[in-house]
Amino acid sequence: MPELRQDRFTKEWVFVASENIQHPQELVVPRARKSVPSFDPNCPFCPGHETRTAPEILRVSSPKGGWTLRVIPRKFAGLSSELPEHNFATAIEGFGIHEIIVETPDHSLSTALLPEPQLLSLLRSAKARYDEICLDPRIAYATIYKKHTVEGSGGLEHPHSHLIASQVIPPPVAGRLQQARRHYGQTGECIFCAALQEELDTQSRIVAATQHFIAIEPFASPSPFCTQIYPRRHMANFGEINAEELLDFARILRTILSKFYSGLENPDFTYNMRSSPVANAGVNYYHWCLHLVPNLPIPGLEQEGKMLLNPVLPEEAAQFLREVRVEQAIPA
């Protein structure tokens, strides 16, 4: 029986488990493991090719020499980091900051396979850059974004992620913020904290939980295995995370990426940080999360007009991901 569910944070409606109900395991198609070398002579992100990129902004040095992580400005960014002199309300020239985090010197590793200390280093570096970028008075919103494809993202298979910041707040972020503010005005509570408490009470959509974080399948999940990681402590902005929480965040992120890798056959996926705009850091009504979406080849999945159709019940997707054992399946 199809069910129409409304996302309480966006008010969007989603059909879940529509006519051709699919069980999670039906969506997992075995994928041939592509052999990727740890060094590619043509890759600008591989060690020894540092001069092929713009000068780096941040480097984490390796005790063995060389580096373990680099942050560089994007060479062919669509946004200019020079603010144009003349702006018009409806035609703001693209001002923004776009940086690339090269996550490891090893060309062959996917983010899901990074050892925990390296994933922590990635998050620490991302936060250091995020904090600094948000100090720029021209910046209204910043996010951390990752697109993983087996064929390589933007022609580059070397593991990397993006920091993107701009002078405007994207409409979906502004929409979520508005709903959250309205809910707070009516009830005096953070809508996300309230939803997390309900998830903890029912347990049915929880994929993983750690001391400081909870990973869930959203109630009105727009696509199969869409997963959100929320801090348990109320925090509007990613910049508010402390050192202990960052370590725990690395742990739960690695768990979820490993479950995707092992349980869903190394799928293409994206994630993005849904943090508050800079001006709303510290507010009582908004709560950040990391939003992860595996991109599975699903026959019949369509978006009709603005109506989303998700063939899998979020509760079944959560159970499936909970049961994926990751410790044994991930190569060392």
* Residues in contact with Zn ion by the rule CB under 5 A: 40, 43, 45-46, 107, 158, 190, 192-193, 234, 287
Closest separation in Å from C-beta 158 to Zn ion:
3
Closest separation in Å from C-beta 54 to Zn ion:
16
Question: Which stretches does DSSP call E strand in 118-247?
Answer: 141-148, 160-166, 206-209, 213-216, 227-231
Beta bridge partners of 268: 295
Sequence-separated contacts (24+) of 210-217 with Cβ below 8 Å: 210/248, 210/251, 210/252, 210/255, 211/248, 212/244, 212/245, 212/248, 212/249, 213/245, 213/248, 213/249, 213/252, 215/252, 215/255, 215/256, 216/318, 217/314, 217/315, 217/317, 217/318, 217/321
Closest separation in Å from C-beta 190 to Zn ion:
3
Q: Tell me the C-alpha distance between 185 and 262, whole Å.
A: 43
58: closest CA among 111, 109, 130?
A: 130
Closest separation in Å from C-beta 30 to Zn ion:
27
**DSSP output for 27-48:** G----PPPP--S--TT-TTSTT
User: Which of 63, 155 has the CB closer to Zn ion?
Assistant: 155
User: Which of 199, 316 has the CB closer to Zn ion?
Assistant: 199
Asked if residues 253 and 245 have their Cβ atoms less than 8 Å apart, the reply is: no
Q: Tell me the C-alpha distance between 87 and 71, whole Å.
A: 30
Q: Tell me the C-alpha distance between 14 and 118, whole Å.
A: 37
3-class DSSP assignment, residue 168: coil
